[in-house]
Amino acid sequence: MKPAIISFTAASAFAISVFLIGQPIFAAPSFFSAPPAPPRVRPKPLGLTVNQALKKFGPPARKSLAERFKTAGLTYPPKKCCLIYLKEENLLYLFGFDKKQKWIRIANYSLLSWSGKLGPKLKEGDMQMPEGFYRFTALGADTHLCLWVDYPNRRDRARAKLDHRTGLGGDIQIHEGVYSTGCVVLDHASMAEIFVLAHDIGCENMRLIMAPCNLAAHEAKIDYALQPRWLPGLYKDLKAGLAPFSFK
């Protein structure tokens, strides 16, 4: 679902997020608490091309990223990265790959907005944030800084076929702003870093994992009786996919 366009002047109490290297100062707002309401006034779009956005926001974002990677013992830009969103923790984690073929945590970003509950996205308008393994297809800056996510992907469509579901929805992004209808929503500085990183290493070298929680550490607090029959299999795959990452 396409979210409302960003406005940072209308940000709520936790909208002004100040970050240390690799760790936010403020605790992440709970996924189980009510997210911010949509803004009353539709903000003015950025109206930038990707190249214009890179020229405007690139220098400070690269400086911050270089410091983050240096602190983690890695050089910038890396060859590949992984973003992981854990719903229960309500944090977006950034990992880089080191020379020993190990994933190193670079940063974690608090969300400004979120929607839905634990469990996968099943249809258009359900306000759910997807769960699974995803890729990024493009960068955008016409309305706001964003990365487009390939939901629904091949696996999502295959599961929908099992359930005889249609109308899966789409327009899922990681973007800056203050309101979500199924997307991961960050503040401007955080989104600028991810936007520039995706450009510098290529969307094909970034992957995204979206999960209900760190399934490698504990089970999701979810009633499986109310979920599709394939969900335990997806969570088993997510558990294995999350195993190489340390969130501490």
Instruction: Tell whether 206 is covered by a domain.
Output: yes
Asked if 149 and 214 count as a contact pair (C-beta separation under 8 A), the reply is no
Instruction: Tell whether 227 is covered by a domain.
Output: yes
The total number of structural domains in the chain stands at: 1
Instruction: Tell whether 13 is covered by a domain.
Output: no
Instruction: Tell whether 37 is covered by a domain.
Output: no
Instruction: Tell whether 11 is covered by a domain.
Output: no
Q: For the chain, 248 residues long, give each residue's pLDDT as a single digit of tens.
A: 444 443 333 333 333 333 333 344 346 778 877 777 787 777 789 999 999 999 999 999 999 999 999 999 999 999 999 999 999 999 999 999 998 899 999 999 999 999 999 999 999 999 999 999 999 999 999 999 999 999 999 999 999 999 999 999 999 999 999 899 999 999 999 999 999 999 999 999 999 999 999 999 999 999 999 999 999 999 999 999 999 999 98
Parent domain of 92: 19-26+43-216+223-242
Instruction: Tell whether 38 is covered by a domain.
Output: no
Instruction: Tell whether 2 is covered by a domain.
Output: no
Instruction: Tell whether 152 is covered by a domain.
Output: yes
For position 179, which CATH number holds?
2.40.440.10
Q: CA–CA separation, 81 vs 161, rounded Å? A: 31
At CB < 8 A and 24+ separation, what contacts does 134-137 make? 134/207, 134/208, 134/209, 134/210, 135/203, 135/204, 135/206, 135/207, 135/208, 136/198, 136/203, 136/206, 136/208, 137/203
